């Protein structure tokens, strides 16, 4: 069994300040972990993924995430928020069963103030 | 490549009506998936397929059916629409070798 908990349903930052979106997971397997972004009324876009290589993963648009096995965490960060970063972010875990089905967290809505 | 395409983009159904949501991918991916996303929630897996002729249930399969007669197409069927099926439906596909799923743009379905 696997599950994902996104610790904040809403995060608000000012433009130019750092972003931290927190994610904890549980999995019976060695998981693959992902962050997806969803802009309003749009589909999902992959930001980055961890698949058992380097624990610090760099993604698109300046985002990165660090896999910490001891803490079962995969937090998403960005040094400086941009207005275009305002969106819903999903932390996702995948395990090698059931066709590598994805289990989604509940999402974090990121708001960026000017 | 068009990637993953879904039709229709929007649909309103009356209770008890049926419809098929279409999903097509042109990346020759083995794996295909159907998810639903309820307001303010993450996606939940309805059905998935690991290849033509093979399908299996996900977390929330009740009220839906699928078929996979070709590699490219993975339609989702609602037989007796209910208000609880009001949601946004996403189709996704994945190559056997890679763990990344590619998502379609979604179908917004309302059942009244």
Q: Which residues in chain B touch residue A51, judged by CB atoms under 8 angstroms apart?
A: 99
Q: Which residues in chain A touch residue B101, judged by CB atoms under 8 angstroms apart?
A: 102
For position A54, what pLDDT does the model report? 83
Does B60 have pLDDT greater than 70? yes
How is A39-79 classified by DSSP, letter by letter?
-TT--EEEEEEE-SS-SEEE-GGG-EEEEETTTTEEEEEES
Does B63 have pLDDT greater than 70? yes
For position A43, what pLDDT does the model report? 82
CA A94 – CA A104 distance, rounded (Å): 9
Question: Over pLDDT 70: what percentage of chain A?
Answer: 96
For position A98, what pLDDT does the model report? 60
Does B98 have pLDDT greater than 80? no
Does A29 have pLDDT greater than 80? no
A32 and B99 in contact by Cβ < 8 A?
yes
Does B13 have pLDDT greater than 70? yes
Give the DSSP H/E element, type plus range, for residue A38. Answer: strand A32-38
CA B65 – CA B58 distance, rounded (Å): 11
B42 and A105 in contact by Cβ < 8 A?
yes
Give the residue from B31, B43, B105, B106 with the most A CB atoms within 10 Å of its CB, the best one to mutate: B43
Give the dihedral sign, CA A66/A67/A69/A72: positive
**What are the respective helix, strand and coil percentages of chain B, to the nearest 5?**
5, 50, 45
Express each pLDDT in A88-102 by its tens digit: 999 999 877 666 778
Rg (CA), chain B: 13
Q: Nearest to residue A16, comparing CAs of A78, A80, A62?
A: A80
For position A99, what pLDDT does the model report? 64
What is the average pLDDT score of chain B?
93
A44 contacts chain B (CB < 8 A): yes
B 71-100 near A (Cβ less than 8 A)? 90, 94, 99-100
């Amino acid at each position: 069994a696997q599950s994902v908990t996104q610790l904040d349903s809403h995060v608000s930052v000012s433009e130019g300040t750092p972003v931290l979106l927190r994610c904890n997971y549980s999995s019976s397997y060695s998981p693959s972990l992902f962050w997806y972004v969803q802009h309003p009324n749009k589909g999902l876009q992959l930001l980055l993924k961890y698949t058992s290589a380097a624990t610090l993963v760099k993604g698109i648009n300046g985002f990165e995430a660090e896999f910490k096995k001891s803490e079962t965490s995969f937090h998403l960060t960005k040094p400086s928020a941009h207005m275009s970063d305002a969106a819903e972010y999903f932390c996702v875990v995948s395990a090698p069963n059931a066709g590598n089905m994805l289990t989604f967290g509940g999402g974090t809505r990121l708001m960026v103030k000017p | 490549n068009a990637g993953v395409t879904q039709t229709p983009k929007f649909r309103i159904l009356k209770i008890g009506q049926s419809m098929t949501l279409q999903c097509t991918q042109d990346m020759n991916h083995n794996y295909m998936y159907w998810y639903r996303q309820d307001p303010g929630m993450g996606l939940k897996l309805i059905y998935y397929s690991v290849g033509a002729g093979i399908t299996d249930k996900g977390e929330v399969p009740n009220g839906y059916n699928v078929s996979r007669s070709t590699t490219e197409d993975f339609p989702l069927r609602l037989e007796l629409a209910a208000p609880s099926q009001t949601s946004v439906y996403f189709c996704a596909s994945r190559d056997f070798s890679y763990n990344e799923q590619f998502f379609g743009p979604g179908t917004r379905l309302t059942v009244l």
